């Protein structure tokens, strides 16, 4: 009988968690859509992001930086948030760090058009400050649904904020990088953000090591 009580207790906990999840999704507005979860097209999702006012960042953005690339890509790069240049152009990774990312992508025998590039936050935090947990909570469902549409084989998480948004860990990026984790069954390789590489020449070698592990996983080596 104590075993039965335990099972009932666990069942009630699961139901309570599900109710909490649904309430959160309703609050975020993601259960208002008529399209079933994961069935929206990328363009419908982009339109939803462009109109989004779910966090304070909508007040200061010039453009929503939704993401771009091949919607059927095997490889997705995720950064933390748009910077100034990205905010102005409405495209991810187009500043100096973005140019470095493009070089890394090409060294990996891909083109920018063959991969998908996005950020956890779709709007720029003022003065490039770190994303707040509240902003990440509000914006992450967009990323979740982007990844649900793309279904990549590998995600490269650029920097600690991107890695923490996908992987349940509080470790620093130096400790996390270099090995694969799983996000919804997709392999995730955390590595240093290209902006960090611009300031730390010595980080280029470990990033290339991580890139080669991704290439091996995707049959590019
Ligand atoms: S950062 Fe994300 S949640 Fe916040 S307003 Fe922009 S799209 Fe909406």
Token pair, residue 148, equals 């649900």
Residues 6+ apart with CB under 8 A from 104: 194, 207, 208, 211
Round to whole Å and give the CA distance between 137 and 132: 9
Residue 49 Cβ contacting ligand 1 at under 6 Å: yes
120-to-41, 91, 150, 165, 219 alpha-carbon distances in Å? 19, 13, 15, 7, 27
> 3-state SS string over 132-200?
CHHHHHHHHHHHHHHHHHHCCCEEEEECHHHHHHHCCCCCCHHHHCCCCEEECCEEEEEECCHHHHHHC
Taking the centre of ligand 1 as the mean of its atom positions, its distance from the CA of residue 65, in whole angstroms, is 10
Parse the chain into domains and list their residue ranges.
Answer: 1-32, 33-217
Which residues face 155 on adjacent strands? 76, 188
Instruction: Compute the distance between CA of residue 115 and CA of residue 30 in angstroms, rounded to an integer.
Output: 26
**Residue with the nearest Cα to atom 1 of ligand 1?**
123
Q: Is 57 in the pocket of ligand 1 (CB under 6 A)?
A: yes
How much is the pLDDT for 118?
98
Q: What is the pLDDT of residue 27?
A: 45
Angle between helices 96-107 and 204-217 (to 10 degrees): 50
Asked if the model's pLDDT at residue 7 lies above 80, the reply is no
pLDDT digits (tens, 9 = 90+) for 58-69: 999 999 999 999
Q: What is the residue whose two structure tokens read 């470990």?
A: 206
Q: How many CB atoms lie within 10 A of CB 75?
A: 25
Whether 32 has a pLDDT exceeding 50, the answer reads no
Q: Which two tokens stand for residue 25?
A: 């999704």
Would the CB of 138 count as within 6 Å of ligand 1? yes
Ligand 1: residue whose CA is nearest its atom 6: 123
- Please provide residue 155's backbone torsions phi and psi, each rounded to the nearest 5 degrees: -115, 130
pLDDT level of residue 33 (50, 70, 90 thresholds): very low
Give the model confidence (pLDDT) of 93-123 as tens digits: 999 999 999 999 999 999 999 999 999 999 9
* Reported CATH class of domain 33-217: alpha beta
- For 35, how many CA atoms within 13 A lie in the half-sphere containing its CB? 12
Residue 221 has what pLDDT?
Answer: 82
């Amino acid at each position: 009988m104590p075993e039965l009580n335990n099972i009932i207790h666990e069942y009630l906990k699961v139901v309570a968690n599900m109710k909490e999840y649904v309430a959160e999704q309703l609050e975020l507005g993601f259960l208002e859509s008529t399209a079933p979860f994961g069935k929206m097209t990328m363009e419908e999702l982009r339109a939803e992001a462009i109109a989004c006012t779910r966090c304070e960042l909508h007040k200061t953005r010039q453009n929503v930086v939704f993401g771009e690339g091949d919607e059927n890509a095997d490889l997705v790069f995720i950064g933390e948030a748009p910077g100034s240049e990205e905010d102005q152009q409405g495209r991810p990774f187009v500043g100096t760090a973005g140019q470095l990312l493009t070089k890394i992508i090409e060294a990996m025998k891909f083109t920018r058009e063959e991969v998908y590039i996005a950020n956890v936050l779709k709007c720029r935090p003022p003065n490039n400050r770190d994303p707040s947990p509240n902003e990440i909570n509000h914006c992450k469902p967009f990323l979740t649904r982007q990844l649900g549409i793309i279904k990549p084989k590998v995600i490269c998480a650029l920097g600690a904020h991107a890695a923490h948004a996908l992987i349940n860990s509080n470790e620093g990026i130096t400790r996390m990088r270099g090995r694969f984790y799983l996000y919804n069954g997709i392999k995730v390789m955390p590595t240093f953000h290209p902006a960090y590489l611009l300031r730390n020449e010595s980080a280029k070698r470990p990033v290339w090591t991580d890139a080669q592990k991704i290439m091996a996983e995707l049959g590019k080596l």
